[in-house]
Amino acid sequence: MGNTFGRMFRVTTWGESHGDAVGVTIDGCPPLVEIDLADIQYDLDRRKPGQSLITSQRRESDRAQILSGVFEDQSLGTPIHIIVHNEDQKSKDYEHMKDKFRPSHADFTYQSKYGIRNWKGGGRASARETIGRVAAGAIAKKILKNDYDVQIIGYVKQIWNIIADIDPSKVSKDGVESSSIRCPDPVSSEKMFNAIDKARKNRDSLGGIIELVVHNVPIGLGSPVFDKLDADLAKAMLSLPASKGFEIGSGFGGVSMPGSEHNDEFYTSEKGTVKTRTNYSGGIQGGISNGEDIIIRVAFKPPATIMKEQNTINENLEDVVLEGRGRHDPCVLPRAVPIVEAMTALVLMDHVLLQRGQVGHV
């Protein structure tokens, strides 16, 4: 249960971090979409480990193979299956903590829920599971771009206590990718890199915040009252490993503004389209997109697996000391950017199809 996301554009993932492979089935993709493996690989490469000194050194080429649903480079409308083989599992690294519960990791809860867990690596709790999301998201991104010129740009807004200075309306994909941190503010990016590197050397880890902006969102996406567009985005983001919070538009900060200041005044643009002078709503009102930029933020805690010694217990509930091993990210933020983008694309794509289904057009 729980491994399928979406209603019309449905994504089902499978696979553990130290199993043979991970994969994804995409059901509901419109037919006749040009599917280019390079688009998928581009985002997988942005997600993969080993991109820099400050990411996990696990060596994975993360090569995607499409096993079904595509014929002569076009989608058939039937399930697309994409598989990525694992190549560099080092399960031995996990043997010393086979029966120990890493603090704040999912070891204890998986074991308690199911009565069993794959202790070789993180199993389904590993971020390796997100490969399927990124692959599916790349297809959704492409359709959204082709059909509506939707542009989804995520970036690192904060690492630890270092907050970047970024104007969401002006950030560019190139600006993001030119930073190994995926933070388009060069000054902050450097500070962030140093902070992560220092944490790494300290055998510690850091968290942060990813911000994401979507341009050219079609008006009318979202299905109140439960499947509001922002509700589905919130679920998408909190389903990511290590995420602890979600906000849209003014978010938590907006609560200290009075309504007269917070309300986004409507006006008619020169092109005759409806616009708002401010965007505290973050592009969604009443759970439905209003055509303004969608702006969201996602909080990620520092990774649980650290190299420092920690007190914990084992499966016999005895006190033990745990020393981390394995290859882990001291900070997940730089690699999480394409994942947050992918989940956004999946939510938007699903709602495009829902809207087209119920109302007949988008």
Q: Under rule CB under 8 A, which residues in 221-260 are in contact with its own copies? A: 221-228, 230-239, 241, 244-252, 254-260
**Binding of residue 285 to its own copies (CB under 8 A):** yes
Looking at residue 72, its amino acid is E
Helix/strand/coil for 316: coil
> Least CB distance from residue 151 to its own copies, whole Å?
21
**Segment near its own copies (CB under 8 A); pick from 43-51, 62-70, 137-145, 168-176:** 62-70
**Segment near its own copies (CB under 8 A); pick from 39-47, 52-60, 87-95, 261-269:** 261-269
Count of C-beta atoms within a 10 Å radius of residue 44: 23
Per-residue x/- marks for its own copies, 132-151, CB under 8 A? Answer: --------------------
Question: Which residues, 163 to 202, sit near its own copies by CB under 8 A?
Answer: 199, 202
Residues 6+ positions from 166 with CB-CB distance below 8 Å: 155, 157, 183, 184, 185, 211
Question: Which residues, 327 to 346, sit near its own copies by CB under 8 A?
Answer: none
| Structure-block tokens of residue 295 | 């702006």
Q: Give 112-161 as a DSSP string.
A: HHHS----STTGGGSGGGHHHHHHHHHHHHHHHHHHH--EEEEEEEEETT
> Least CB distance from residue 361 to its own copies, whole Å?
9
Residue count, binding to its own copies (CB under 8 A):
149
Count of C-beta atoms within a 10 Å radius of residue 116: 9
Nearest CB to its own copies, comparing residues 128 and 172: 128
| Structure-block tokens of residue 150 | 């939707």
Nearest CB to its own copies, comparing residues 87 and 318: 318
Asked if 128 contacts 17 with a C-beta cutoff of 8 angstroms, the reply is: yes
**Binding of residue 294 to its own copies (CB under 8 A):** no
**Segment near its own copies (CB under 8 A); pick from 47-55, 134-142, 180-188, 207-215:** 207-215
Identify the residue among 21, 51, 293, 327 touching its own copies (CB under 8 A): 21
Nearest CB to its own copies, comparing residues 179 and 289: 289
Calpha distance 347→148 (Å, rounded):
15
Question: Which residues, 114 to 133, sit near its own copies by CB under 8 A?
Answer: 114-118, 123-125, 129
Per-residue x/- marks for its own copies, 27-46, CB under 8 A? Answer: xxxxxx--------------
Nearest CB to its own copies, comparing residues 59 and 308: 308
Calpha distance 60→121 (Å, rounded):
15
Nearest CB to its own copies, comparing residues 178 and 357: 357
Calpha distance 247→279 (Å, rounded):
14
> Least CB distance from residue 247 to its own copies, whole Å?
3
**Binding of residue 14 to its own copies (CB under 8 A):** yes
Nearest CB to its own copies, comparing residues 176 and 237: 237
Q: Give 254-276 as a DSSP string.
A: GGGS-HHHHS--EEE-TTS-EEE
Nearest CB to its own copies, comparing residues 15 and 184: 15
Calpha distance 51→49 (Å, rounded):
6
- Beta-strand pair 243-248/266-268: unpaired
